Amino acid sequence: MEIFLEAKSTFYKALEEIINKAYEKRTISKKEIYEILTKYNCNFPVLEDRVFAKNTQYQKNIYVLKQQDDKSYGLRIDSKIEPYVTNTEVMWLKFMMSSRYAELFLDIETIEKIRKLKSSNIPSINTNLIVPKNYSKILKRENAKDISAKMKMVIKGIIENKILRYTYKTRQGDTLKDVTGIPVKIQYSLKDDMFYVIFYSLERGNFAKCIIQNLENLRYDEGSYNRDDVLKEYDNYLKNSKAKQPIVLEVINTRNALERAFCMFSSFEKSARFLKEKNRHEMRIYYYEFEEAEIISRILYLGRNVVVVNPQHIRDRIISRVKNALEMYSKSEIV
Fold adopted by 247-331 = Alpha-Beta Plaits (3.30.70)
Question: Cis peptide leading into 246, omega within 30 of 0?
Answer: no
How is the beta sheet containing 65-67 ordered, strand by strand? 28-29, 72-75, 65-67
- List CB contacts of 233: < 8 A, sequence separation 6 or more: 205
- Residue ranges of the chain with per-residue pLDDT less than 70: 1-9, 119-120, 126-143, 190-192, 222-227, 330-335
| Nearest-10 Cα torsion for 19, 276, 274, 254 | 120
Nearest-angstrom CA–CA distance, 197 and 201: 12
Distance separating the N- and C-terminal Cα atoms of the chain:
48
pLDDT of amino acid 107: 78
Angle at 60 between CA 54 and CA 63, to 5 degrees: 65
Boundaries of every domain in the chain: 2-75, 87-130, 144-241, 247-331
Burial (0-12, 13-18, 19+ Cβ within 10 Å), 15: buried
From the list 80, 69, 66, 92, the residue with the least C-alpha distance to 15 is: 80
User: For 265-307, how does the pLDDT look when each residue is reduced to its tens digit (9 = 90+)?
Assistant: 887 888 888 888 888 889 899 988 878 888 888 888 888 888 8
From the list 219, 211, 139, the residue with the least C-alpha distance to 179 is: 219
pLDDT of amino acid 131: 55
**Is the distance from CB of 26 to CB of 74 less than 8 angstroms?**
yes
pTM for the complete prediction? 0.53
From the list 210, 175, 207, 174, the residue with the least C-alpha distance to 194 is: 210
pLDDT of amino acid 246: 92
User: For 235-273, how does the pLDDT look when each residue is reduced to its tens digit (9 = 90+)?
Assistant: 787 788 888 899 999 988 777 788 888 888 887 888 888
pLDDT of amino acid 139: 59
Return the beta strands (E) in the chain as ranges.
28-29, 65-67, 72-75, 164-169, 175-189, 194-201, 206-211, 215-220, 247-251, 269-275, 280-286, 306-310
